[in-house]
């Protein structure tokens, strides 16, 4: 007879082995290695809460220091490889297999470990894709998460930066897994219960607060006049024309420039209330002037930003806050909003090819792409209409069944740092797939999802292209003096411009002489503090006064 409760029995055995090291659900920090060794078994699938910002860093460090003779061949599943400890587990032989979404700061080291045969990659996922697999074939057996506080019963308070915690814990707890949480403090009563105690097995107060990266914060002082010009063209040529109200901005100075032009340039065009009202976005400090000017009605966030807590508390009409006054972010739900409820994604990339495929994966770096493929894709399951979605659908329609289209905009300068061209004949992703043994080239956003490309040369509206040749020449037409741009068919590019597929600043009625930093609503971090009425408290690295 089959045992239908084997997982539950295995869970009880793990809990029994851990019992000597805990009092109730709480254990001391110096017993962390003992507890992890007790609950882990070779071959376990383990989720470490490695997010874009919030890190279960104490637990990750202790995991990396376990004895590989006892704990080995772990299968790590996590969103972001952000810390050295996230790869130390592979270097030390504790883990051998990896499924993840993004590895930004560890991208180079990840490529080296893969090349040395010290790990195997199952797949590079989008966030939603990985979360979905937590509930199907990649369910964690043991999960290491973090929170702001816990009570002694094990109720968790995540504070403003919930991020991935709910999806990790629910997937693990309801498949008889083990959930271990590091918290900054253990209190008598948590301000609100974000994760109920029934879902949590063990809690430890870490020796220092968990690490949080202010990933989305951009200093306005570093925004260039070229980025101001590109932002002006985007606002007038895309936001205004499509009446974009629900949107997501990617990380970068290009989109920060747009945010800082809303109270100035967009205001001068009479666009308040007509564009950029509802956001799926971290609480970017660069959005403060637009919020104060009345452009922004609501913001739901993937994570939080250090220093924004008092401002968020004081602007509860805009942010999703609890009764305690702090925000509750949620990466899975905000990704879902970005995929299905937003009409536009606009972000940057490192390389774009002649079909409009883009990637941040380059030779020697396996960076992954996080949530951009979800945000930057046309959700074919969407069924509700909006002015933006329907207009884009009409432009793309070339016979057949009418449907809407999400705007997916790539905004890049033609040359990146060190004069590396952003436009290429072939993405590095092809060679990277071959060297890493990946099933597919790691493309971030596929070209058939991209609707517009914005550079300092102008805007290419790919929705209006009717042939592959037109699409290629539209891309070449805004690629500037890169080899791709110099390879344009000049006559065809001028024809595309006559048809409004390519539009330069002059075609849009954008006065290039106004494209200076003076147009920004804030030109420094100190300006953002002033705009917040002193509520924004920037991290130390952003303070120069």
pLDDT the model gives residue 6: 97
Average pLDDT over residues 528-532: 98
SS3 content of the chain, % helix, strand, coil (to 5): 40, 20, 45
Q: Which of 271, 470, 237 is nearest to 344 (CA)?
A: 237
Q: To which residue do tokens 């990396």 refer?
A: 64
CA 29-197-172 angle, to 5 degrees, is 85
Q: Is the pLDDT of residue 127 over 80?
A: yes
Q: Is the pLDDT of residue 273 over 80?
A: yes
pLDDT digits (tens, 9 = 90+) for 362-383: 877 888 888 999 999 999 999 9
pLDDT digits (tens, 9 = 90+) for 5-38: 999 999 999 999 999 999 999 999 999 999 999 9
Average pLDDT over residues 457-486: 97
Task: Give the contacts of 245 (CB within 8 A, at least 6 positions apart).
Answer: 274, 275, 276, 277, 278, 343, 386, 388
Angle, helices 32-39/6-18, rounded to nearest 10 degrees: 160
Which pLDDT band, with edges at 50, 70 and 90, does 73 fall under?
A: very high
In whole angstroms, give the CA distance from residue 161 to residue 284.
13
Higher pLDDT, 212 or 508: 508
Task: Give the contacts of 309 (CB within 8 A, at least 6 positions apart).
Answer: 160, 326, 327, 537
Tell me 423's DSSP state: B
In whole angstroms, give the CA distance from residue 115 to residue 437.
10
Average pLDDT over residues 494-513: 98
Which residues is 47 bridged to in the sheet?
Answer: 143
Q: Which of 432, 527, 483 is nearest to 220 (CA)?
A: 527
pLDDT digits (tens, 9 = 90+) for 415-432: 988 899 999 999 999 998
According to DSSP, the β-strands at 142-150 and 156-157 are antiparallel
- Please provide residue 122's backbone torsions phi and psi, each rounded to the nearest 5 degrees: -70, -55
According to DSSP, the β-strands at 156-157 and 178-186 are unpaired
Global pTM reads 0.95
pLDDT the model gives residue 448: 95
Average pLDDT over residues 288-302: 98
pLDDT the model gives residue 47: 98
Q: Which residues of 396-431 are buried (b: 16+ CB within 10 A; e: fewer)?
A: beeeeeebbbbbbbbbbbbbeeeeebbbbeebbbee
């Amino acid at each position: 007879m089959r045992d239908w409760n084997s997982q539950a029995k295995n869970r009880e055995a793990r809990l029994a082995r851990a019992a000597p090291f805990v009092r109730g659900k709480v254990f001391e920090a110096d017993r962390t290695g003992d507890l992890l060794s007790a609950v882990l078994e070779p071959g376990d699938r383990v989720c470490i809460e490695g997010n874009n910002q919030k890190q279960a860093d104490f637990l990750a460090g202790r995991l990396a220091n376990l004895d590989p003779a006892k704990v080995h061949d772990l299968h790590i599943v996590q969103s972001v490889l952000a810390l050295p400890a996230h790869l130390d587990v592979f270097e030390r032989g504790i883990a051998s297999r990896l499924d993840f979404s993004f590895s930004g700061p560890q991208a180079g080291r990840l490529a080296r470990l893969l090349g040395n045969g010290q790990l195997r990659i199952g797949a590079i996922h989008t966030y939603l894709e990985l979360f979905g697999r937590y509930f199907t074939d990649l369910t964690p057996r043991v999960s290491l998460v973090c929170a702001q506080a816990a009570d002694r019963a094990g109720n968790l308070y995540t504070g403003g930066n919930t991020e991935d915690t709910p999806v990790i814990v629910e997937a693990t707890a309801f498949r008889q897994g083990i959930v271990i949480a590091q918290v900054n403090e253990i209190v008598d009563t948590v301000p609100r219960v974000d994760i109920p105690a029934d879902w949590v097995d063990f809690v430890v107060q870490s020796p220092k607060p968990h690490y949080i990266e202010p990933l989305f914060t951009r200093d306005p002082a570093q925004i260039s006049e070229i980025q101001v010009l590109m932002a002006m063209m985007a606002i007038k040529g895309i936001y205004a024309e499509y009446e974009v109200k629900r949107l997501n901005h990617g990380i970068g100075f290009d989109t920060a420039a747009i945010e800082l032009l809303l109270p100035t340039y967009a205001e001068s065009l009479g666009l308040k209330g007509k564009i950029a009202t509802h956001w799926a976005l971290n609480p970017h400090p660069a959005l403060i002037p637009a919020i104060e000017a009345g452009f922004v009605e609501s913001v739901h966030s993937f994570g939080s930003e250090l220093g924004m807590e008092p401002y968020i508390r004081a602007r509860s009409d805009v942010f999703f806050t609890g009764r305690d006054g702090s925000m509750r972010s949620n990466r899975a739900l905000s990704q879902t909003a970005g995929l299905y409820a937003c009409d536009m994604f606009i972000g940057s990339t490192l390389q774009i090819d002649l079909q409009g495929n883009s990637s941040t994966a380059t030779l020697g770096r396996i960076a992954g792409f996080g949530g951009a493929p979800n945000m930057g894709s046309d959700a074919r399951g969407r069924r509700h209409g909006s002015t933006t979605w329907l207009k884009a659908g009409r432009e793309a329609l070339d016979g057949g069944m009418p449907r809407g289209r999400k705007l997916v905009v790539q905004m890049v300068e033609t040359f990146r740092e060190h004069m590396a061209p952003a436009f290429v004949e072939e993405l590095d992703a092809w060679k990277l797939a071959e060297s890493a043994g990946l099933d597919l080239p790691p493309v971030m956003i596929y070209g058939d999802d991209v609707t517009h490309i914005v550079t300092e040369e102008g805007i290419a509206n790919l929705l209006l292209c009717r042939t592959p040749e037109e699409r290629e020449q539209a891309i070449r037409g805004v690629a500037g003096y890169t080899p791709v741009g110099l390879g344009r068919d000049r006559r065809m590019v001028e024809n595309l411009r006559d048809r409004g597929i390519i539009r330069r600043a002059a075609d849009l009625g954008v006065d290039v002489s106004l494209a200076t930093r003076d147009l920004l609503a804030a030109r420094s971090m100190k300006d953002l503090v002033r705009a917040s009425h002193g509520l924004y408290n920037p991290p130390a690295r952003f303070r120069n006064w």
